[in-house]
Amino acid sequence: MDTPNSIYDEQRDQDTLGGRIGRAREMANMTHEEAAQQLGVTLETWENWEGDREEPRANRLAMLAGFLNVSAAWLLHGIGESPTTDDYSEIAQELNTRLAEVEDLHARTGEAIAVLKSTIERLNKSEESE
């Protein structure tokens, strides 16, 4: 009989507490200022948490986990429910738009190179004939 899985069988997120707080805030699409204001702490406190200069007290940690929609275990130890985004389509759409821009730029660069080579060859031929 297989033993039941536990949180200790999970792959641990190796980031720091501050790094995980920052990632969860970003996944919630909030600035430092918005997050601090909504949680009722100063911007300095929030930035100290994300910068690993301070750690939230236990009561704030529980509020923080709920506020960021992650588990306290994930925040503290990198194990458990982590932040996710349900809408990758917006990200994929933005990346596709940027890819199309780069491909267009690449094509125009190739055309410009071809024109330059042709012009140089024509100039070299006219110089040789003189």
Instruction: Answer whether CATH 1.10.260.40 is correct for domain 7-77.
Output: yes
Helix, strand, coil share (%) of the chain residues, nearest 5: 70, 0, 30
Record the pTM.
Answer: 0.57
For the chain, which residues make up each domain, given as ranges?
A: 7-77, 87-130
Classify 54 as helix, strand or coil: coil
Per-residue DSSP letter, 15: S
CB 27 within 8 A of CB 83: yes
pLDDT tens string, the chain, 130 residues long: the values are: 444 455 555 677 788 999 999 989 988 889 999 999 999 999 999 999 999 999 999 889 999 998 888 888 888 888 876 676 555 566 677 777 888 899 889 999 999 999 999 999 999 988 887 7
